[in-house]
């Protein structure tokens, strides 16, 4: 049986990140390992355990952590998202995995989805401890996503919100907040699509997640361009999993970015929208990721 442990490890500033460590059934070690994290405003309870369980059952040690300011992890400014801070913290997660007796430090892969699908491109391009990468429905360009997802007549109001938040910070006021999901266009929110609302508002343990994010997180998201790093990932093997009707991180942008990646690389497409790899397309998405890690980290033992 797979063993699941609660873990924590320190990051810069004195905070601790917390998450789950999945250990495969006892076998010869040390074992290959996979580090995983969720996307924009997501927590580990948003569907990551299914992936981690599948990887651990196949013989991998798996670490799933909550980003700083979210879920079980520390962070004084709750629900604030800085992609570069999340990437720096993720390097500590890799170092934590390296320190475990159960883990072969020479065989560590990373798996990221959505916003974190962009993070793993940056990590893969800049941290050669990573030996295999799975980037699922990744953010490629915050700018291009913004052009597509924000109606032109709503841009001025959004920029006004950003600017007002900056001025309030100068006055020493608390960071302004907006919702992560809301279908009402009069309410500031990151996502309005019905599939996003259903995914983020799925039943979760009481108190685990709040439908809230800082306003400045949205500005940073629009400035984030992880696709710029994709050609630098090589020679680390890269698998990209793309949903063919993705209206969140946008199918065509992902496919165009994949063409800029160098070998070794592989593209797997699945039916449905952005959230289907966690749901209806989970068998296909998880099997593709497992096959990639098995090929490039270690043969899976029966």
Give the pair of three-digit tokens for residue 97. 């995995």
Is residue 163 scored above 60 in pLDDT?
A: yes
Whole-number Å distance between alpha carbons of 246 and 293: 24
The residue among 28 and 254 whose pLDDT is bigger is 254
Is residue 158 scored above 50 in pLDDT?
A: yes
pLDDT value at residue 300: 47
Look up tokens 């560590």; give the residue: 108
Whole-number Å distance between alpha carbons of 194 and 183: 7
Is residue 199 scored above 70 in pLDDT?
A: yes
Give the pair of three-digit tokens for residue 273. 């929208």
Residues 66 and 43 sit within 8 Å (Cβ to Cβ): yes
Give the pair of three-digit tokens for residue 104. 């072969």
Backbone angles phi, psi at 160, to 5 degrees: -65, -40
Q: Is 3-149+224-297 a domain of CATH 1.10.10.10?
A: no
Q: Residue 302 — very low, low, confident or very high, per pLDDT cuts 50/70/90?
A: very low
Residues 61 and 89 sit within 8 Å (Cβ to Cβ): no
pLDDT value at residue 98: 98
pLDDT value at residue 29: 79
Which tens digits make up the pLDDT trace of 64-120?
999 999 999 999 999 999 999 999 999 999 999 999 999 999 999 999 999 999 999
The pTM assigned to this predicted structure is 0.96
pLDDT value at residue 299: 57
Structural domain spans, the chain = 3-149+224-297
Is residue 49 scored above 70 in pLDDT?
A: yes
By percentage, how much of the chain surpasses pLDDT 90?
Answer: 93
């Amino acid at each position: 049986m797979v063993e699941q442990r609660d873990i924590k490890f320190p990051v810069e500033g004195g905070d601790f990140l917390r998450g789950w460590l999945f250990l495969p059934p006892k076998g010869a070690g040390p074992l290959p390992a996979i580090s995983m994290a969720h996307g924009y405003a997501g927590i580990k309870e948003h569907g990551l355990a299914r992936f981690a369980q599948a990887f651990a059952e196949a013989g991998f040690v798996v670490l799933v952590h909550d980003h700083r300011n979210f879920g079980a992890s520390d962070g004084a400014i709750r629900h604030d998202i800085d992609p570069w801070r999340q990437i720096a913290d993720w390097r500590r997660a890799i170092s934590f995995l390296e320190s475990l007796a159960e883990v072969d430090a020479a065989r560590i892969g990373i798996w990221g989805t959505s916003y974190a699908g962009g993070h793993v491109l940056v990590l893969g391009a800049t941290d050669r401890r990573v030996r295999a990468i799975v980037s699922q429905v990744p953010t490629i360009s915050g700018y291009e996503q913004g052009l597509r997802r924000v109606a032109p007549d709503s841009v001025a109001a959004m920029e006004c919100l950003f600017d007002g938040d900056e001025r309030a910070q100068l006055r020493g006021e608390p960071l302004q907040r907006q919702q992560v999901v809301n279908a009402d266009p009069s309410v500031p929110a990151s996502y309005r699509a019905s599939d996003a609302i259903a995914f983020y508002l799925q039943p979760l343990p009481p108190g685990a997640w709040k439908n809230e994010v800082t306003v400045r997180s949205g500005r940073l998201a629009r400035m984030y361009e992880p696709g710029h790093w994709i050609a630098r990932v090589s020679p680390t093997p890269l698998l990209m999993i793309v949903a063919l009707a993705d209206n969140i991180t946008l199918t065509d942008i992902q496919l165009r970015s994949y063409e800029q990646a160098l070998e070794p690389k592989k593209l797997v497409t699945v039916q449905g929208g952005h959230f289907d790899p966690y749901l209806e397309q989970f068998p296909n998405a998880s099997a593709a990721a497992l096959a990639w890690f098995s090929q490039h980290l270690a043969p899976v033992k029966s």
